[in-house]
């Protein structure tokens, strides 16, 4: 875990304790995006197996998946993407007259800017 990722997790705990639902939602969403980026593609199962289920892996640790190691720059890129997505959605909502929701998304994007 990088320093930036640790900071995001610590800030999530702080936001949850403060019952700050907006910050909690943004940080959870961002940490989920980071977790998704760490995941590696699932490899195709082999068509033959010695066990009762074809292609099943057996043994200790078979349910553990290797994760991709991300750098702080990778995480900043993910945060930047999350911020851009919120800013774009806010612009779209504003053009459709949903000012309140657009302001909420802009506030979320601003919160993410603190991590860039």
Count of structural domains, the chain = 1
Asked whether residue 21 is assigned to any structural domain, the reply reads yes
Q: Could you tell me the two tokens for 114?
A: 């603190």
CATH number where 78 lies: 1.10.1510
The 10s digit of each residue's pLDDT in 11-50 is: 999 999 999 999 999 999 999 999 999 988 766 444 444 5
pLDDT of amino acid 67: 82
Give the chain as a DSSP string.
Answer: --HHHHHHHHHHHHHHHTT-HHHHHHHHHHHHHHHHHHBPPPPPPPS--SSSSTT---STTTT---BPPPPHHHHHHHHHHHHHHHHHHHHHHHHTT-HHHHHHHHHHHHHHHTT-
Mind listing the pLDDT tens digit for each residue in 37-84?
998 876 644 444 455 665 666 666 666 677 889 999 999 999 999 999
How much is the average pLDDT of 84-93?
96
Residue 53, in any domain of the structure:
no
């Amino acid at each position: 875990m990088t320093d930036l990722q640790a900071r995001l997790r610590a800030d999530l705990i702080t936001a949850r304790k403060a019952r700050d639902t907006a910050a909690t939602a943004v940080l959870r969403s961002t940490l989920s995006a980071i977790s998704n980026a760490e995941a590696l593609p699932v490899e195709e199962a082999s068509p033959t197996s010695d066990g009762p289920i074809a292609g099943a892996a057996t043994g200790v640790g078979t349910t553990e998946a290797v994760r991709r190691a991300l750098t702080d720059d990778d995480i900043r890129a993910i945060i930047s993407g999350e911020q851009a997505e919120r800013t774009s959605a806010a612009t779209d909502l504003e053009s459709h007259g949903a000012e309140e929701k657009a302001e909420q998304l802009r506030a979320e994007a601003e919160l993410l800017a603190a991590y860039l």
